Amino acid sequence: MASLLPLLFFFFFASPSLVNATSINRDLYHSSADLLEQIKALVHRHPDKLTAETIKTGNKGYKAEITVVTYCRSRKETDDRSKFRILLSFGQHGRELITTELAFRILSVLSEEQFLPDVDAASLNNTLDKLIVKVVPMENLNGRKLVEEGDLCERRNGRGVDLNRNWSIDWGKKEKDYDPYEENPGTGPFSEPETQIMRKLALTFDPHIWVNVHSGMEALFMPYDHRNTTPDGVLSERMRSLLGKLNNVHCHKHCMIGSGGGSVGYLAHGTATDFMYDIVKVPMAFTFEIYGDTAASSKDCFKMFNPVDLTTFNRVLNDWSSAFFTIFKLGPLQLDGNHSKAMASGVDRFVSIDEYLDGYLMERRNRYGKKMEVLDVGMQEIRTYFRLFLLSSVLLLFMFCSRIAKGKSSRPIVSALSI
């Protein structure tokens, strides 16, 4: 009994934040396993609208998996490039449980098991007929498990890397207020399996709209996160216009709007949204912050990032699920019905051999559902053979052209008078 006294003293006096911290409300929030099972059951009940796949990969002894749900009103058209494509990611940070609940709500509405108030069903169906929506309901499953085990402030993945700092745009730059615990960017761009999966998914799907959903405040952000400015041009104006409409209708005019780097008070380097806009050339790339309790203690992470009462919980899900269906309706209109992505860059984007191979292999796995081990091993060999093939082709072409040139130069010159 005496040995317990120091522990009790620490628990009650030395660390009061541990006593006062809000725990996960199990009556409101699903566990990660239950949520994914509920989503898979939803897909099973609606095979005419929804499909699901679980993508697994890993490196250096660390394994990760991501479930991707695709909504398309006709499954045979899931590869139809004429449709407007939207990619949504939730749960990139483990402690933001409310975002994964929103993903489930959106999928429930898409499946027509739940309905939005004051929305005409016929008009909604007409909008959805033109879309393919891919939803990643829980990008950071390993980090989420750590939160459920009691580390309620954990935002990183299962080996301590912030997945929203692991992308290649301005990767690794550290601001003066850099917190290595919160913002560890990893050993290099795309060092983490979760980020590798998301990059491949984005390159193969090639969306018109990307939304990365977080919590911690209420905001509608557009690029850039690594600088305090927004992009120039028509697309930037249209992104801001769409966000203004969402703020007025669904965010009750109190959401912050602008670039992530210019609005939130700090710059973030290596983020997903900046990569989507600059590299994937997504015409409209956003980061949404759907909830934040500014009165909560910084040590009470669950309360800071997630609603703790039923009324607020339902309000957040209702407001933001409606906001996403407004995006589904207005997004194509903001791009003038033009489904090409040339406006994003003015020229076709360059895709490296590595990106192409990664994307190609992911597409094969997505389409046929086969376990393709080359995603995990052998990629370097495939790249090497591909490069050797290109090199040998160039050399053969050079030799062929040289022979032709030599042959022409050795021919005798015939006088025109002899004809």
| Distance (Å, whole) CA 109 – CA 98 | 17
Q: Facing residues of 55 across strands?
A: 66
| Residue among 21, 40, 39 at smallest CA distance from 95 | 21
Q: What mean pLDDT value characterizes the chain? A: 83
pLDDT for the residue numbered 405: 66
Read off the tokens for 154.
């954990």
Q: Is pLDDT above 50 for 5?
A: no
Q: Is pLDDT above 70 for 275?
A: yes
Quick: pLDDT tens for 146-181: 999 999 999 999 999 999 999 999 999 888 777 878
pLDDT for the residue numbered 398: 76
Higher pLDDT, 414 or 25: 25
Runs of H (alpha helix) within 78-192: 97-110, 121-128, 141-148, 180-183
pLDDT for the residue numbered 386: 64
Q: Is pLDDT above 80 for 205?
A: yes
Quick: pLDDT tens for 85-129: 999 999 999 999 999 999 999 999 999 999 988 777 788 888 899
Q: Is pLDDT above 60 for 304?
A: yes
Please compute the mean of the pLDDT values over residues 53-57 and round it to a whole number.
97
When pLDDT is cut at 50, 70 and 90, the band that residue 274 belongs to is very high
Read off the tokens for 392.
């040998």
Higher pLDDT, 356 or 139: 139
pLDDT for the residue numbered 187: 95
How is 313-369 classified by DSSP, letter by letter?
HHHHHHHHHHHHHHHHHHHHHHTTT----GGGTSSPPP--HHHHHHHHHHHHHHHH-
Which positions ≥6 away from 279 have C-beta within 8 Å? 168, 169, 349
3-class secondary-structure state, position 216: coil
| Residue among 54, 138, 136, 151 at smallest CA distance from 93 | 138
Of 1-15, 218-232, 252-266, 304-318, least confident by mean pLDDT is 1-15
Please compute the mean of the pLDDT values over residues 291-298 and round it to a whole number.
93
Quick: pLDDT tens for 331-352: 998 887 554 554 443 334 444 5
State the amino acid at position 190 in one-letter form: F
pLDDT for the residue numbered 180: 79
Q: Is pLDDT above 60 for 261?
A: yes
pLDDT for the residue numbered 262: 81
**Element containing residue 260 per DSSP (H, E):** helix 260-263
Burial class (CB in 10 A: 0-12, 13-18, 19+), 410: exposed
Token match 């059951």: residue? 41
Residues with catalytic roles: 289
Q: Is pLDDT above 70 for 369?
A: no
End-to-end CA distance of the chain: 118
When pLDDT is cut at 50, 70 and 90, the band that residue 226 belongs to is very high
Q: Half-sphere exposure (CA, 13 Å, Cβ side) for 246?
A: 33
Q: Is pLDDT above 60 for 360?
A: no
Highest mean predicted confidence (pLDDT) among 222-231, 340-349, 396-405: 222-231
pLDDT for the residue numbered 106: 98
